[in-house]
Amino acid sequence: MRGRVHKPLDWHHGLERRETVAGFASRLAALNGRSMPRFLRDMMIHPRTVDKSDTAALKAVAILGNANCEMLSRYTPEPLGDKFYLVNGQQFGRLSISRTYFRYCAHCIQEDLRSYEGPPTARPWLRLEWTLTHFRSCVRHQVFLDSYHPDRRRFEPFDFSRAVAGLIPNLGEILVASVNALPSPFQDWLLHRIDGGKNEENWLDDVPLYAAVSFCEALGVSALHPPKVKTSLLTEPQWAEAADRGYAIARAGPDAICALLEKLNQLQSKTRGVWGPRDTYGLVYGLLQKTVSDPAYDKFRRLVREFAIKTMPIEPGTDVLGVVVHKRVVHTIRTASRDSGAHALTIRKLFEGRGITDGRYASGLVDHRVTVDASEIHSVVVSLRNALSTPQVEKMTGIPRIPLKVLIADGYLSTITGSTGKAYAKHRFSKSEIDCLMDRLFEGAVLVTDPGERQLPVQYARHAACASNSQILSLIMVGELKWKGRLAGTSDYTGLLVDADEITRIVRSDVQKIGLTKVELKNFIPGMGRDSVAKFIRDGQLETVEEFNPEARRISTVVSRSSAQKFLDTYVSLGELTQRSGLHHKQVRLLLRAVGIEASFDPDEYQSFFYQREQVDKAQNIDPNFWQYDKAQAQNLAKRVDCNPVHIG
């Protein structure tokens, strides 16, 4: 262009908003009857300079078309190094600019043909959006864009107007085949950013545009598709949907993004195999991993990294988006089992017992998908490495299994696993706790070489004094006994001696029987059959306890008064109702059937009739004359209820 003075050509169209230099030059050439390469050379402009958005070439094209040079430059992608293009001050990745093909909207081309004069091929103009890969639908006409791959010589921009010449004859068919698209908030935001607009409430708007755009698309793919989806197989509508979904989540900020990541975690929890962030978060994690050295993604990378480390069982030493994890933050049942040496079932019960995880949620998950904050169980995991099992404690201390369970249940021996009070738990104990227990058991004990007739080991003293394990062990642990001994030559529980007479005096002093025998229970609950008691005890409706019977002068098993009272408050027997109503038991049963009240327990199995007391009381309150017996009326009502059951709740 050296030595050439350019002047505006007589034949030119006005510059449109967001029209690129290559498209403007192509339209200018077509209007003057030339192909774009020939036209540029005629004007002493090398096509390569237009392809590279050279400033001098851009200025020359602007002069020839009598266009605003600054406006033409603003929306023309300008190379910025080897990796980026600049559009109106906004950076785009190299692959975001399509230089060998373009997308187009047939409706826009049709409007251009109607809006301009001159050769038809010179009327349509190339929108910037048609050269940006992130635009997949026409913002104006709400249809998906079609793609066109024109002939192109190397180092030259494609001739847009010449390509349009091949589209115009088939434009009618293309219009008919257009696919409708939904409005795209993602594309609206992208145009707004390109035009220089920003919104302080939009969490994305302080991030370089190329990073924000790529993050939205990747986040949307992760939200809509499996982690290992082949992105090369995704269609343009699928990419468009992903971009809008990702934008809707990302613009809302960290809480919305973390909610999605948590959802992906939950989906991953239903799978097996290795659990890692790439296999869980999919494309969005892959993007952040691939761009780990690009500070433009730091905001996104930091958020995803922190969430992954906080919620996933990531092994120490693992690199997570450029940061090496030095300390475990999350344990699973499997990792806690491996690190502690305890069985996985023990760890699972530990989690559930401590209320660390929701048992209903965790019960269906495999061991390496049930997670817990590592800090919550760190001390337990460390302690479990050298923990003692129940058989080991029995062997070490000489304490039989049943007394050992009593010591745990009564709170005198704590467990590492927090399983106190659970009858069938797999307890684990620390060596220090066992040593402390033995010290308390033998505290104040005198050395005995030849014990007296009533100076007995604990297991024998219990029977001699008619005391329960809980009673005698409580007396020892709280220090109420005036005498304890240690049999010479022994160092374990079998050598602990107590005075059976002293224990007898303590456990029998001011003792009153509280529980009920089976005979007493029959009178306490009217209508309770003697043979029914065992069945209700078996099913957990009544509970039994051991207590000293001062009359029989022995420990006996009785029904606790509290459970008997609870049963009486909940159920009313047929016998009590006959007394209340003055009717025969068959008449009472018929009246109850007439209002849909059935026995709560199978009379044949339990050998007695019991009804929900609340239902009977409600029926009486509804009808003050409930117990007035009319056989015919009651039978009719009962038949009607049998056909259409209606229960009083």
Task: Indicate the DSSP class of residue 450.
Answer: S
Model pTM greater than 0.75? Answer: no
Q: How far apart, in whole angstroms, are the C-alpha atoms of residue 19 and residue 39?
A: 19
Closest CA to 27 of 1, 85, 66: 66
In this structure, are 614 and 581 located in the same domain?
A: yes
User: pLDDT by residue (tens digit) across 411-425?
Assistant: 888 877 666 655 456
| Identity of the residue numbered 386 | N
Decide if 226 is inside a domain.
yes
Partners of residue 556 on adjacent β-strands: 547
Q: Of 277, 132, 298, give the one whose Cα is nearest residue 211.
A: 298
Question: What are the strands, taking DSSP E only, across 443-487?
Answer: 446-448, 455-457, 484-487
The domain boundary, picked from 150, 176, 202, lies at: 176
For residues 133 and 49, membership in a common domain is answered with: yes
* Residue partners of 85: CB distance under 8 A and separation at least 6: 77, 78, 79, 91, 92, 93, 94, 96, 97
Measuring CA to CA, which residue among 164, 170, 70 is closest to residue 118?
164
Are residues 148 and 237 located together in one domain of the fold? no
Same domain for 355 and 265: no
Look at residue 305 and tell me if it is in a domain. yes
| Type of residue at 354 | R
pLDDT for the residue numbered 647: 47
Which residues have C-beta within 8 Å of that of residue 207, sequence separation ≥ 6? 215, 296, 299, 300
Is residue 425 one of the residues assigned to a domain? no
**557 with 545: CB under 8 angstroms?**
yes
User: Which of 338, 361, 384 is the last residue in one of the domains?
Assistant: 384
Per-residue pLDDT, 581: 85
**Residues of 4-22 as b/e, b for ≥16 C-beta within 10 angstroms?**
eeeeeeeebbebbebbbbb
The CA distance from 20 to 270, in Å, is 50
Let me know whether 33 and 172 are in one domain. yes
Answer yes or no: do 68 and 191 share one domain: no
Q: Which of 646, 528, 632, 526 is nearest to 593 (CA)?
A: 646
Q: Indicate whether 347 and 254 sit together in one domain.
A: no
In the numeric block, which tokens belong to residue 3?
Answer: 């030595």
In angstroms, rounded to a whole number, what is the distance separating the alpha carbons of residues 22 and 157? 7
* Parts of the chain with a pLDDT under 70: 1-4, 331-370, 372-386, 417-425, 508-514, 547-555, 641-649
Asked if residue 61 lies in contact with residue 72, where contact means CB atoms within 8 angstroms, the answer is: yes
Verify that 127 and 145 share a domain, yes or no: yes
**Count H helices, E strands: the chain?**
33, 19
In terms of domains, do 216 and 77 share one?
no
Structure tokens at 214: 């790529």
- In this structure, are 232 and 121 located in the same domain? no
- d(CA 44, CA 552) in angstroms, rounded, equals 124
Q: Name the 3-class secondary structure at 28.
A: helix
| Contact between residue 632 and residue 613 where contact means Cβ atoms under 8 Å apart | no
Domain count, the chain: 4
Residue 478 lies in a domain: no
Cβ-proximal residues to 280 (8 Å cutoff; 6+ apart), any chain: 227, 264, 265, 267, 268, 308, 312
Beta partners for residue 144, in sequence order: 137
For residue 236, how many other CB atoms are within 10 A of its CB? 16
User: Do 276 and 296 meet the contact criterion of CB atoms below 8 Å apart?
Assistant: no
Query: What residue numbers bound the domain in which 340 lies?
Result: 330-384
DSSP state for residue 324 in the 8-state scheme: E
In this structure, which amino acid lies at residue 527?
G
Residues 29 and 169 in one domain: yes
Angle at 330 between CA 329 and CA 334, to 5 degrees: 135
Coil, helix or strand at residue 448: strand
Bridge partner list, 429 = 388
Residue whose structure tokens are 């059935």: 598
Judge contact between 437 and 413, C-beta under 8 A.
yes
Q: Is-contact 272 366, C-beta < 8 A?
A: yes
Residues 296 and 237 in one domain: yes
> What pLDDT is stored for residue 510 in this prediction?
46
Query: Hey, what amino acid is at 432?
Result: S
Of 309, 324, 339, which residue sits at a domain end?
A: 324
Give all strands (DSSP E) within 253-405, no chain letters.
319-320, 323-324, 330-332, 371-373, 388-389
3-state helix, strand, coil in the chain (%, to 5): 50, 10, 40
CA-based nearest residue to 119, from 36, 193, 54, 32: 32
- Does any domain span residue 210? yes
Residue 7 placed within a domain:
no
For residue 423, what pLDDT is reported? Answer: 47
